Structure 1
Amino acid sequence: MDRLEELRIFQAISETRSLTQAATKVGVSPATVSRALTALEERSGVRLVERNTRRVSLTAAGRDMSVRAISILGDYDEAINNLDQGLLRGLLRITAPVQFGRLFVTPFVTQFLERNPELEVDIVLDDRYIDVIEQRIDAAVRIGVLPDSDMVARKVGEVRRVHVASPQYLAERGTPQTPTDLVGHNIIFGTRYDGKHEWIFGGLPNGQSLGVPARLSINDVESVLVAARAGHGVARILSYQAIDDLARGSLIRVLREYEVQPLPIHVLMPSTRHIPRRQRVFIEELSLFLLEDPKLRIAAL
């Protein structure tokens, strides 16, 4: 069997987690899929999948092979498909935090698609970190300090967590001068997935995490902004989310000296030696687009 075909079959197994479904996806018999997998495991010298009665799961070596297979097959397909004028073709899967994706990634993607009419893009907006390898993500935007990983990261900006309230609210309730003053204020809390109602502050010895008396908890940033503009309390959001309101004066920044250190913004991609040209071009252009946006620079505040 052609070795590229073996990789296609293995990638189908990786995506479907089923030998039978992989056979249907590729258009071969289940026996052919089983033989291809056995041949690939024998040639590599490692077990690539664990089988049970219902599904198969990838081993660590299998996940690594899947990443490499995506790259190799992508390069091959692109070499064949892009012979005419070097057009970018294929599918790109992109993930980013919800609000960041709405404000920055989606506008860029629409422009990128206009320039590359043969491309398809699947945008996955989620404030939780999804598994880039498992979900076959080509590029991911992450805000915050990155854990150690094999991902390739490009820094494209930085933001702060800022505390804001409307002029009306501050006129009625006063401006908090220290974090402990928040005990006497209404707090609009952006709900976290761990359920903790606490904020970490800078400007204090070793930093300090304080529980905040959240009167209103919301799991959507835009709704937090709506409540803050309407004078319902003090909110903490990322600077790029508040910068337009701060410029208009519809929100006022408070507790500046107690803000924590800036958070970096990175564009990530799986660490592979060979990536499809469509992925490389997309990441290069997205990175430049974000680097040029003043809203993603601390100096803009």
Structure 2
Amino acid sequence: MDELGNLSAFLKVVERGSLTSAAAALHCSASTISKRLKQLEHSVGATLLNRSTHGRAYPTEAGRAYFDQVRTIVRELENARESVRSVNETLEGQLRVHLTPGTGQMVLMPLIFRFMREHPALRIMVSIRPDGHDVLHRGFDLSIHSKDAKEGEIGYTSIEARELVKVDYVICAAPAYLAARGTPARPEDLSDHNCLVSVRQASPHQWWFRRDGFEYPVNVSGTLEADNWTTAFEAALEGLGIVRMMRIGDLSHPKASALVPIFTDDVVSGRSIWALMHRMEPTPRKIEAFCNFLRTELQGQRTRQD
């Protein structure tokens, strides 16, 4: 009996919520998943899953307790098996990556496409949604997002956070907007302008600046509040207002040259792009390679823009 295979099938069903979805993720049939679950339940002597008439599967109380116990064990076994492979072996299997909107679409996806071309045997599942690091407990290998220093630290000891790159903000507007409304002479003038707000940034209605070694906020508001940077960026391109963007990635966008930077040297950022993952020893090779690739590419972008 393939006990590791049975455990992996059980974990995948709990994470995906159905036998069919788990089978698709593991590249086997639903009947194979069902057989593995029966073997596992017989082995432990308890019913681990309840099946609904609509094809859904939910862990029983015993199943939830078992899931919490074996999840880390299975990951460690899989990592141990992977660690004995040659470092020159082709990356393969599946990498499950969560990205947040804005940063994911404008900064990370072009890099992920490049990584896929370099490692064609590796399957990458990408989900772009505004969830936080809790997605790691729903089957993702990595959660990558930008985080401001003002948002505090990540309070989970089971999660490893790797800083990929520090980024700067830049205040931008289209020439058409500046021609119609005038260019702000100093940060305080932003209070009299139409500022396009991304509500998922830290302090979205207070943009921070530095003068003579001191940091201070400027209250901003406008006719658009968006839950991702992409929308605010597109609105700025249309000449609708002033936007605060990350210098890295955003300014590499083909359309970004149409925007004029303002107060470049005065903007306070403190923002970084982080990779969050389960704390494991050793780190799976595909995760290590992916993080190293992103760090190299992102830091290269920052160097070219400085």
CA 1:218–1:3: 2 relative to 1, 3 Å: closer
2:62 pairs with 1:55? no
Matches within 5 A, 1:157-196: 157-192=165-200
Q: Which amino acid aligns with 2:77?
A: I
Structure 2 residue aligned with 1:131, among 122, 126, 134?
Answer: 134
**Separation of aligned partners in 2, 1:20 and 1:137:** 18
Asked whether the equivalents of residues 200 and 228 of structure 2 are also in contact (C-alpha less than 8 Å), the reply is: no
Q: Which amino acid aligns with 1:284?
A: N
Instruction: Give 1:90's aligned residue.
Output: 93
CA 1:68–1:207: 2 relative to 1, 3 Å: farther
Structure 2 residue aligned with 1:201, among 197, 201, 208?
Answer: 208
Q: What is the CA-CA distance between 1:233 and the residue it aligns to?
A: 1.6
2:291 pairs with 1:283? yes
Q: Secondary structure at the match of 1:140?
A: strand
CA 1:180–1:223: 2 relative to 1, 3 Å: same
Instruction: Give 2:35's aligned residue.
Output: 28
**Separation of aligned partners in 1, 2:291 and 2:43:** 33
Q: Secondary structure at the match of 1:11?
A: helix
Identical aligned residues as a percent: 22
How many residue pairs match? The answer is 285
Structure 2 residue aligned with 1:65, among 66, 70, 76?
Answer: 70
4+ residue segments displaced more than 6 Å:
18-23, 49-54, 245-248
Instruction: Give 1:44's aligned residue.
Output: none
The TM-score normalised by the length of structure 2 is: 0.71
Instruction: Give 1:7's aligned residue.
Output: 7
The TM-score normalised by the length of structure 1 is: 0.72
* CA deviation string 1:64-106 (max 9, x = no partner): 6314413423654x589x79x8332211112223343334433
Structure 1: gaps spanning 5 or more residues: 40-48
**Separation of aligned partners in 2, 1:243 and 1:21:** 39
| Cα RMSD, aligned residues only | 4.2
Q: What is the CA-CA distance between 1:246 and the residue it aligns to?
A: 11
**Separation of aligned partners in 2, 1:200 and 1:69:** 45
Instruction: Give 1:227's aligned residue.
Output: 235
Q: Secondary structure at the match of 2:135?
A: coil
**Separation of aligned partners in 1, 2:113 and 2:250:** 24
Structure 2: gaps spanning 5 or more residues: 23-29
